Amino acid sequence: MIRQHNPIYKPTLLCLPALLALCFSPAFAQSTSTDEKAETKLPEIKVLGSGEQKYLSKLSSTATKTETLLLDTPQAISVVTKDLIRDQSLRSMADVIRYVPGIVTAQGEGNRDTAVFRGNSSTGDFFVDGIRDDVQYFRDFYNIESVEALKGSNAMIFGRGGSGGVINRVSKQAQWTPLQEASFTFGSWKNRRASVDLGTPINANLALRVNGMVENGDSFRDGFHAKRKGVTPTLALRIGADTLLNLSYEHFRDDRTADRGIPSYLGKPLDVAASRFIGNAELSNTWSQVDAFSALLEHDFGAGINLRNRTRIANYDKFYQNIFSGAVSADGKNVSLNGYNNATQRKNLFNQTDLSFESQLAGLKHRYLLGLELGQQNTDNFRNTAYFPSAGNATSIVVPLTQATTNNVVFKQSASDANNHGVATVAAIYAQDQIEISPQWQAILGLRRDQFKVDFTNNRNASKIEHTDTPISPRVGLVFKPEKALSLYASYSLAFAPRAGDQLSSLTPSNQAFEPEKYTNLEIGTKWDVRPDLNFSAALYHLDRKNMVITDPSDPTKSILIDGQRSQGLELAVNGRITPEWSVVGGYAYQDAKLSKTQSASLKAGATLAQVPTHSASLWNRYDFNRAWGMGLGIVYRGQIYPSTDNTVTIPGFTRIDAAAYYAWDQHLQFQLNIENLNDTRYYASANSNNNISPGSPRAIRLGINLKF
């Protein structure tokens, strides 16, 4: 297999000269030379993201790029707090999504996080601290403070993608409060995990924090094994009285079996044991490695004027290989197997500069945001197809279901396999105005213009494609607050997806001339702080997908654009405390997501979109009996789904119960027992296609030991 690494390019987008100038400025020299005289007890750094109260968050700096109450943000937002991550022992993005209304998880071919936002599947709409983190891999939360799911199209803040929403992870940062924590978890199928969170102030102007994690274990699936490790040191540096510099570096590695589940038969999942691996587990492996450096520079000019500059340089190396099931024969005795491998190397370089300030104009209070985003992504992709010598060197082999595996496989390139190099550059400017019209009325107006350019090279034939999109993305929101604790809102937003796709890999000569796909989101909703520590929210939305490319029914040699997909729905959410002892988080979603135009002979108008349940709901409760003892109980319901938009296979719905028990020996030692799928129900957790369906885990137990020292 050919391995082609990204070329090194000059980081012209960075503002490193400004950072160095500040570091060696007289103000910095003076501040660092008087460490011993300075006050040693300084306020903690505000983490970019949400202000939390157990399971309830009040603030977000992600949805508007300014610190704004969620109550005043005209958009449906769900925040998974650090307390909820700990109490439920959440490990994966699929775990997090389970308690977020309006988003479901897809299988992702067993090698990546995949979320379905209001009917739109994506592997690229993932961010960390507001910066794109779009490579296909499984993320972890060892260094994460909270997870924010922002629903609805919103390219004004995030740029391309975000068709139905985005998920942003808020990272842990160095603080001036000493922190020494460690956790150890032991669970079913030899699962073992250890993590540490260590922080200390070095002096009045310098603080250090280190997060680390190692994990190793199997699963209920035959032949499956996973191991991962990560370490993230962060440094906070005060440069004078009004300037703060945060630096962080992450090294993360994930190795696991690429598990694509089981096929279907007669319109439903094949009736085999949940543990059954169809294909070859030994030849199905995936690994990813992430090395990322981040820098955040913030300066307060006073008088409400603030400057924030954030840079992220990330190198991603990803490989996956799989032998997986195809269709089952009509008599139910045989199954076809296919396979391939794929290698991706990507280097991301992004820089965002935001200037916010306030003013009075025409008797109205305005909070302005002016922003600039510059970015470059270099991507190399190489794919091989699996050939089966025992089947005449064919790319598919038929084997008996009783022994649905094969070892005789050769991986090599087919005539159409990718060997590509791509460079994507983005330059975007945006402006936002948050207007306080009166104590009851607020408005938000935003506009963004992107220049998104892709230079795509096919290394097999040296052909080149260059394409540039210059979309304009508006955002309009109106908030009415009849009471201080109650808001009603309406919003309009737009997102676009370039022809290169969310992984920058699908640009072809036949589609490069078309306009980007567009996603228009109309939403109305309400948010109500029932009490200071309990919030209820509701949202109604209408989302249209336009500019979809299909083959012209009257001329198969041509392609045309259609407006072909519509999602409508209702989302309800509750977060916070019912009583001081009883904490809850829950939600319900009704989704009606269908094709509005026929796209092919198998994709008809009126078909339900893949992976979208009409009804889904979840509710998690924690009740603390006293300072020592607590219990948790969760219920998750998902209605039936179709794994493909052809709607020929149905995955049945399910109801699953989770439970937990907590015991605090003292303030330094706590024990935690989590039971997943307490009722041991048989269900199917996710899918990628009609013949790649993932069985859900049977009852699983994890024992956690949490230390503070």
Segment 287-293 shows an average pLDDT of 98
Does residue 47 carry a pLDDT above 50?
no
- Give me the chain's average pLDDT, please: 90
**pLDDT (tens digit, 9 = 90+) per residue, 535-561?**
999 999 999 988 876 665 666 555 556
Q: Given this model, what pLDDT does residue 276 score?
A: 97
Q: Exposure of 223 by Cβ count < 10 A (0-12 exposed, 13-18 middle, 19+ buried)? A: middle
State mean pLDDT over 499-506.
68
Could you identify the residue written with the tokens 């977060």? 575
In a domain, 666, yes or no: yes
Look at residue 21 and tell me if it is in a domain: no
Q: Which residues contact 422 (CB under 8 A, 6 or more apart)?
A: 377, 378, 379, 380, 381, 454, 455, 456, 457, 500, 504, 505, 507
Task: Count structural domains, the chain.
Answer: 1
Q: What is the pLDDT of residues 150-166, one digit of tens each?
A: 998 888 999 988 889 99
Least confident of 83-97, 503-517, 643-657: 503-517
Per-residue pLDDT, 36:
37
Residue 677: which domain range?
A: 27-292+314-322+477-708
Q: What does residue 377 show for φ and ψ, rounded to 5 degrees?
A: -130, 125
Of 463-472, 474-483, 579-588, least confident by mean pLDDT is 463-472
Q: What pLDDT digit, counting tens, does each position of 425-441 carry?
A: 999 999 999 999 999 99
Task: Determine how many CB atoms are found less than 10 A away from the CB of residue 43.
Answer: 8
Segment 223-261, tens digit of pLDDT: 999 999 999 999 999 998 999 999 999 999 999 999 999
- At residue 385, the pLDDT reads 98
According to the model, what pLDDT value does residue 552 have?
58
- Band (6; pLDDT cuts 50, 70, 90): very low
8-17, 196-205, 661-670, range with the lowest pLDDT: 8-17
3-state secondary structure 637-693: EECCECCCCCCCCCECCEEEEEEEEEEECCCCEEEEEEEECCCCCCCEEEEEECCEE
CATH of the domain at 665: 2.40.170.20
Mean pLDDT of 342-369: 95
Residue 537 falls inside a structural domain: yes
Look at residue 280 and tell me if it is in a domain. yes
Q: Is the pLDDT of residue 660 over 50?
A: yes
Task: Give me the torsion for CA of 689, 80, 143, 14, rounded to 10°.
Answer: 80
Q: Which of 40, 142, 141, 161 is nearest to 518 (CA)?
A: 161
Question: Given pLDDT bands bounded at 50, 70 and 90, which one contains residue 511?
Answer: low
Q: Give which of 153, 75, 163 is closest to 122, Cα–Cα.
A: 163
Using alpha carbons, list the distances in angstroms from residue 624 to 420, 530, 578, 584: 56, 21, 12, 12
The reply to whether 400 falls in a domain is no
Rounded CA gap, 306 and 666, in Å?
A: 43
Q: Is the pLDDT of residue 364 over 70?
A: yes
Q: Which tokens is 575 given?
A: 């977060």
pLDDT value of residue 579: 95
User: Residue 563: its pLDDT value, please?
Assistant: 77
Neighbours of 332 (CB within 10 A): 12
Instruction: Report yes or no on 248 lying in a domain.
Output: yes
Neighbouring residues of 345: CB distance < 8 A, sequence distance ≥ 6:
3, 4, 5, 6, 315, 316, 317, 318, 379, 380
Q: What are the b/e assignments for 263-301, b being 16+ CB within 10 Å?
A: bbbeeebbeeebeebbbbbebbbbbbbbebebbbbbbee
> What is the rounded average pLDDT of the residues 343-356?
97
Residue 301 lies in a domain: no
**What is the helix (H) or strand (E) element at residue 57, kind and residue range?**
strand 56-57
pLDDT tens digits along 138-147 = 999 999 999 9
**What does the alpha-carbon distance between residue 388 and residue 536 come to, in Å, rounded to a whole number?**
56
The answer to whether residue 509 scores a pLDDT higher than 90 is no
421 or 3, higher pLDDT: 421
pLDDT over 70 (residue 33) = no
Alpha-carbon distances, residue 548 vs 176, 294, 322, 483, 648 (angstroms): 51, 36, 30, 43, 22
DSSP string, 570-606: EEEEEEEEEETTEEEEEEEEEEEEEESS--SSSS-TT
Statement: residue 26 has pLDDT above 70: no
pLDDT band of 126, cuts 50, 70, 90:
very high
At residue 501, the pLDDT reads 63
**Which one is predicted more confidently, 463 or 617?**
617
What whole-number distance in Å separates Cα of residue 111 and Cα of residue 169?
A: 19
- For the chain, the first-to-last Cα distance in angstroms comes to 49
Which of 598, 592, 597, 604 is closest to 648 using CA atoms?
604
* Domain membership flag for residue 704: yes
Mean pLDDT of 509-526: 83
